[in-house]
Structure 1
């Protein structure tokens, strides 16, 4: 039986606490074992989240799990009550910005810029994200993690540069993703672009299968990806399956080199960075020099 999201999140909290204690005790065998278990639960948690997002809500509910807005002009068998639209609006407003970003990043499947995150969220969830809130989100998440540790099931964190292990400017990631997936090597921008394309195409396929036609914005987002992937687009025909196939064909070409760069950087990060830095990056060199009283040119 598949564990619920709540059960998996509780397991993540427990395993991370155990990992912290094992590292403090310098028990390398326990650290290795717990890391392996943690990765398994992280994968199961992401799968459970994908299932929850894709499954239709039960008949009679106001909205499905994807929060897909009712298409303009759609009429039901009975007129909605006056309170229903207000209730739906208040539910959407109440969703914290971090959860909205998490939904978009989970859909895209790889670190992404605030602009792309906002575009994906608007395309599939019908509402643009507030840019000013996105600008301060990573700093807020870092402060929260520094103060509370693994109190939350996930954090919106930074993608890390492969060479200096500093935060990559303008790219956000999810803390439960494996460390190599959150590192940007020389080929990673292209690989992540292809991953974004696949995630977008797969979401469109899920919507079609569920009987919820994707929005024009969703198709436009997919087209932007397809135009930059060889073999993904022909004339005016846009087929999600074709985009997925073309993107995966190119991924195979670069996969080994990209994995090597990311894995190598991840190994260095695990030995050189503390838990906070593994999520939010090491301090840039000019900050380190300033903090130690040094000078930089």
Structure 2
């Protein structure tokens, strides 16, 4: 039987507590074994969350497009979407910012900037996510992690630069992603852009298949991606399948080199950084010098 999200979150919490105990006891063999179990549980948790998101009805409040291009999927006869009920809107508005960010990042599948995270949430989850609210989120998450360890199922953390392992400016990630996936190498911004495009296109396909026509904002977001991917957009015909195919074809060109850079940086991070630094990055050099100077006074 497939474990529920709640069961998996409970298992993650237990494994993190056991890992903390093993680290404190300097039992490297046990810590290594528990990390393996933790990675498997995190992967199962992500799969369960993806399945839940795919089956949720998330109709958006929209009007018929007033001008071309007309998306291919929208040309089939479909009933107009209904306004979101007031009760549903209130429930959406009550979602914490960190959960809104988590939903957007899970859909995108790779580190992203606040502006894109906000656009994705508004396009697919009906309510706006104000990007300025994200300014202090990463710092709040870091403080929470440093105080409580792995108490939460996930944290909104930083992407890491491949060379200095410092926080990649303006890019947020999810702590349960493998470390390699959270590293930004020379080719990673382009590879992640293509991953974002695939995530948006697949969500549009899921909504369309479930009978929930995507919002205009969702199609506009996909169009912005498609216009920057060779072969993804032709003759005003916006087709999610075409976007996915074109994005994956280009990504394959960069994949080997990007994976190698990310893997090497992730290996260094595991040996050089603390658990907290692996999530939120090593302190930039100017911060470290400033702190050292302050300590010497």
Equivalent residue, structure 2, for 1:180: 180
Instruction: Tell me the secondary structure at the aligned position of residue 292 of structure 1.
Output: helix
Conserved? CA contact 2:22–2:31, under 8 Å: yes
Distance 1:207 1:258 in 2: 31
Pairing of 1:15-54 with structure 2 (within 5 A) = 15-54=15-54
| Pair 1:164 & 2:155 matched | no
Equivalent residue, structure 1, for 2:153: 153
Give the TM-score normalised by the residue count of structure 1: 0.89
Equivalent residue, structure 2, for 1:245: 245
Moved more, 255-264 or 99-108: 255-264
Query: Would the alpha carbon gap of residues 275 and 257 (structure 1) be closer, same or farther in structure 2, given more than 3 Å must change?
Result: same
1:69 to 46, 56, 60: 60
1:290: Cα distance to partner? 1.0
Equivalent residue, structure 2, for 1:273: 273
1:293: Cα distance to partner? 1.4
Pairing of 1:98-109 with structure 2 (within 5 A) = 98-109=98-109
Distance 2:60 2:199 in 1: 20
| Pair 1:115 & 2:115 matched | yes
Instruction: Tell me the secondary structure at the aligned position of residue 136 of structure 2.
Output: helix
Conserved? CA contact 2:60–2:81, under 8 Å: no
Conserved? CA contact 2:61–2:215, under 8 Å: no
Q: Which has the higher contact order (CA 8 A, sep 6+)?
A: 2
Query: Would the alpha carbon gap of residues 233 and 148 (structure 1) be closer, same or farther in structure 2, given more than 3 Å must change?
Result: same
Equivalent residue, structure 2, for 1:219: 219
Query: Would the alpha carbon gap of residues 75 and 19 (structure 1) be closer, same or farther in structure 2, given more than 3 Å must change?
Result: closer
Conserved? CA contact 2:123–2:218, under 8 Å: yes
Distance 1:108 1:88 in 2: 24
Task: List alignment gaps of at least 5 residues for structure 2.
Answer: 65-79
Give the TM-score normalised by the residue count of structure 2: 0.89
Distance 1:198 1:72 in 2: 25
1:71: Cα distance to partner? 4.5
Instruction: Tell me the secondary structure at the aligned position of residue 52 of structure 2.
Output: helix
| Pair 1:258 & 2:249 matched | no
Instruction: Tell me the secondary structure at the aligned position of residue 87 of structure 2.
Output: helix
Distance 1:71 1:269 in 2: 45
Instruction: Tell me the secondary structure at the aligned position of residue 282 of structure 1.
Output: coil
1:149: Cα distance to partner? 1.2
1:30: Cα distance to partner? 2.3
Distance 2:253 2:293 in 1: 46
Query: Would the alpha carbon gap of residues 208 and 30 (structure 1) be closer, same or farther in structure 2, given more than 3 Å must change?
Result: same
Equivalent residue, structure 1, for 2:69: none
1:127: Cα distance to partner? 2.0
Distance 1:7 1:191 in 2: 33
Moved more, 226-235 or 281-290: 226-235
